[in-house]
Structure 1
């Protein structure tokens, strides 16, 4: 039995978490949940955004599943997600985007995975404000080690999953130093994988290519801000943030998460779609080498999504959160 830290979050987080727990129980997944929380909920009750009990649990278990978390707005608090990523060096943000039967979109045959560097770039927190001149500076810090780790992770994934191509996304025509550093590491590492095609795209061209012919991309690797933008763009190609998985992975720890918001406007109504969190949980099972359990749940989820009438309202059905979960369970 593998112990996993479970972070329900707030808003719709607890509801979609319960749905995932029910599916895992029905599938006899050998996972024991250790529940901790963070964000607005713990700040209101404990005065802490990231309690020590959560940190201890993560250090002990090294694997977590996380629902959407609200960071208090307008009080100078740093994003909970950013803090966790930097605290545990979860340098690799992994976001698959794949066309799903039953989910109508403008595109077909999309099947890509985006690797976003998670701890550096414009999210390094290096900001300065000159009161006299009223000038704000935000520094996009890249390190050679940071570039090397995320690029290597992308190629290793492509190699393991028999992907044909890895595409680096950058702005080296303008960001001469940072772009050159990232591309230099990409070119160097690509030589270790001669069987995988390696190419690069400038970020603005990449955005156009993704909405013109997204099926041409397999694995995409890029820096923090570009990855933040492109990962949501890719989600939009396949149905939105409510149906895509996400993971933050480092050398010692991995946190799998729903990448959508906490949706407080529908919290408590029992209508939230748990697909994104469930797909993240399936990624977690593969990470834990519980592939049979992951494949069984994935097959049941895909079969349910193929029939929109069995899904939640955002996917064209009328099922509640738990009814949707039961529909998946019936297909295990």
Structure 2
């Protein structure tokens, strides 16, 4: 009996399981319903300004959208863990996102309360309420932004509803804390399937599973086996596996070797931030979190930059790129491309730069420079 014949029953079971998972979760990359805009009406989008400089960055988006005539109306909610008395209720915010199916979100601060307070942060509660299981961060070199490397182009896909962020920890004895890392086959297969579907749809050639199965043989072992099983269903996509500590070294040594990376929760967070620093920092990288029904667009490197509040110095590029991605998602790609082209023109010219990119321009100056470079068509429809 051939190896293929022997493996057919197992592969059939795996395929059936994944098909059932696809039917339940209706994989967003391939099947999320597009919101069309053909009658001139506006699309409603939930807006969460966030903490730190988030409100200032959202003001930049608002100015840009108004200047470009983008047919979006924001349903805004103040949502914060550091100012809970003014914050809207989680259920209200989650219901708005579920209803609108799309959200633009600033970064929420997660205070360190030590052993006091709830273990789940507001970010975690929102992700769990909406089942925002896949975080996607596209790490791409921007024109005119000089860094150590050129032409970086990779995508980090992070599972963000379990793993080290399960909020299951307790002090079993004084001075002894047990923290549980939850890994399930269902969610590991789901994020692996998402990564391979993303690779297929976006003409990517390789998926790298990042793990620590050499030490966490059961937990990360299950994640890795799940990725290996899903990889068999995609014979045209190259698959490799890499231990997380080696991955962090490799990505700063030779980033060109990576295409799509799929990771458990904590590893993805670390690699997101490391890779963001390689293309210009937290101010220039956009991200998005997906469920089967909605998408939340937010910066890829989650820093509130609270020390800069009110100083008008934050780089709005990441948030503007998030807004452009949102426009693509709601079937307004011409507006999204117009915004990206304007951002690229400002960065290429190099005359208007915020301090994080070596310039002296303010948030507002950069925003107005992007607005001045918008190529708005003379016709009423894009």
Q: Report the counterpart of residue 52 of structure 2 in structure 1.
A: 11
Identify the range of structure 1 (161-170 vs 274-283) with the bigger mean alpha-carbon deviation.
274-283
In structure 2, the partner of 1:76 is 117
CA distance in structure 2 between the partners assigned to 1:25 and 1:191 by the alignment: 48
**How many Å separate the matches in 2 of 1:142 and 1:289?**
35
Query: What do residues 82-130 of structure 1 show as CA deviations (whole Å, max 9, x unaligned)?
Result: 2211111100011111111221211112100100000010111111211
Contact 1:309 1:318 in 2 (8 A): no
Contact 1:92/1:248, CA 8 A, preserved across alignment: yes
**Please, which runs of 5 or more residues in structure 1 have no aligned partner?**
none
| TM superposition shift of 1:207 | 1.1
Q: Does 1:305 align with 2:347?
A: yes
TM value normalised by structure 2: 0.82
**Residue 43 of structure 1: SS of its match in structure 2?**
coil
Question: Secondary structure at the residue paired with 1:114?
Answer: strand
Pairs within 5 Å for 1:59-98 = 59-74=98-113, 75-77=116-118, 78-98=120-140
Q: How does 1:183-332 map to 2 (within 5 A)?
A: 183-258=224-299, 259-332=301-374
Aligned-pair CA distance for 1:54? 2.0
What is the CA–CA distance in structure 1 between the aligned matches of 2:112 and 2:250, rounded to whole Å? 35
Q: TM-score, normalised by structure 1?
A: 0.94
Is 1:143 the counterpart of 2:203? The answer is no
Question: Shift of the alpha carbon at 1:152?
Answer: 0.9
* Structure 2 residues not aligned, in runs of 5+: 1-41, 375-382
**Deviation readout 1:201-247 (Å, 9 max, x if unpaired):** 01111111111100111100010011111111111111111110111
Change (3 A) 1:53 1:180: closer
Instruction: Indicate if the aligned counterparts of 1:163 and 1:219 stay in contact, CA closer than 8 A.
Output: yes
Alpha-carbon offset, residue 72 of structure 1: 4.0
Runs of 4 or more off by more than 6 Å in structure 1? none
Between the aligned partners of 1:72 and 1:179, the Cα distance in structure 2 is 28
The 8 Å contact of residues 9 and 41 in structure 1, kept in 2 or not, is answered as no
Q: Does 257-266 or 197-206 show the bigger shift?
A: 257-266
Q: State the Cα distance separating 1:41 from its structure 2 match.
A: 6.3
What is the aligned counterpart of 2:97 among 40, 50, 58?
58
RMSD: 1.7
1:120 and 1:32 map into 2 onto residues whose CA distance is 33
**Alpha-carbon distance in structure 1 between the residues aligned to 2:82 and 2:265:** 28
Cα deviation 1:223-274 (Å, max 9, x = unaligned): 0011111111111111111110111111112111123322222211222111
For 1:143 and 1:36, how far apart are their aligned partners in 2?
33
**Which of the pair has more CA radius of gyration?**
2
